[in-house]
Structure 1
Amino acid sequence: MKKALPVVFLLALMSCDSFETKKVSSQEILSEETRELNWNEVDQYPAFKECREITELEASKSCFGKKVAQYFYSRLEEKQPVVTEAIDDTLYLYLRISERGIPAIDSVHIDSLVIRQLPEIRTWLTESVDSLPKIYPATKRGIPVVTTFKMPVVIKAE
């Protein structure tokens, strides 16, 4: 009986090593989380008041895009521009929504024919953006983030 006791005690000492825990710093956890996050996607898209209750991501994005398009087209229609040549073109507006929900034009790609026929188009687009209703910013993990949308604007005039 005396010989068996030291063997059991020795096994108990050897198995304690497997219970050793590794201390992980909060900085290591943060850097691991940052590597795993997809920064090109958001958890919630920017939204107007009407779209705020939509929880499904694609439906939320669609609602926001439709509302912005409706607003732009209604504002541009008010201008009643007169052209000398027919226009059937698409310009691309890059709309930036800040982390505070403030919209701004990041850039605009406009064909030279459209600029010749509608020299004030950039001003009209800026006015449209400046008068958008309140926008709630996009969020990533509950934190407001900056987003940019590429928006096609179809210009047709006869």
Structure 2
Amino acid sequence: MFVSCNYFDVKKTTSDAILNEELKTFNWSDVDDYPSFASCNDGVSKEEKKRCFQNTLTVIISNKIQKDTIVVSQNIDDTIYIKFQISETGKLSFIEAKVDSVTLREIPNINELLANSLDSLPTIYPAIKRGQQVKTAFTLPVIIRVN
């Protein structure tokens, strides 16, 4: 009498196969903790920290731009979308700004003003994914009103 059982068959799995399966389930567009400033670490939830970081950055940019004298021939009420990148070490880099053609014609140095507004930011703590500091990119809307 011969009896067989597949229960004892062992299939070998390579580390590459495990890695490939893990990468399939890995969400590349989400992080465990968003980038933050020291003042934003009091937030309880991940979304509160994200909102605090965005609001703080918007206030810093707006305040620095308001200090510059901007002369225009017509009123401007525009939303500029600024694309940033934050490195694994917390260094913020200005990538580009999507600016309306009217705003660009009235304020030709708007990109320079935006880049200069980022010169003296407080320390930025980079995003965290699975316990590791990671590079992130995001777009921030900034409202420009000049009368």
Asked if TM exceeds 0.5, the reply is: yes
Mapping of residues 1-158 of structure 1, within 5 Å: 14-15=4-5, 17-158=6-147
Q: Which has the larger radius of gyration?
A: 1
RMSD: 1.7
TM-score, scaled relative to structure 1: 0.83
Q: Pick the structure with more strand per residue.
A: 2
TM-score by structure 2 length?
0.89
Distance (Å, rounded) in 2 between the aligned partners of 1:138 and 1:90: 26
1:55 deviates by: 4.8
Which ranges of structure 1 fall in alignment gaps of 5 or more residues? 1-6
Shift of the alpha carbon at 1:116?
A: 2.1
1:13-56 per-position Cα deviation (integer Å, ceiling 9, x unaligned): x34x4133323222221111111011011111001111234352
Q: Distance in 1 between matches of 2:42 and 2:11?
A: 43
The runs of at least 4 aligned residues of structure 1 exceeding 3 Å deviation read none
| Identical residues among aligned pairs (%) | 37
How many residues end up aligned between the 2 structures? Answer: 147
Take 1:28 and 1:100, find their aligned partners in 2: how far apart are those partners? 31
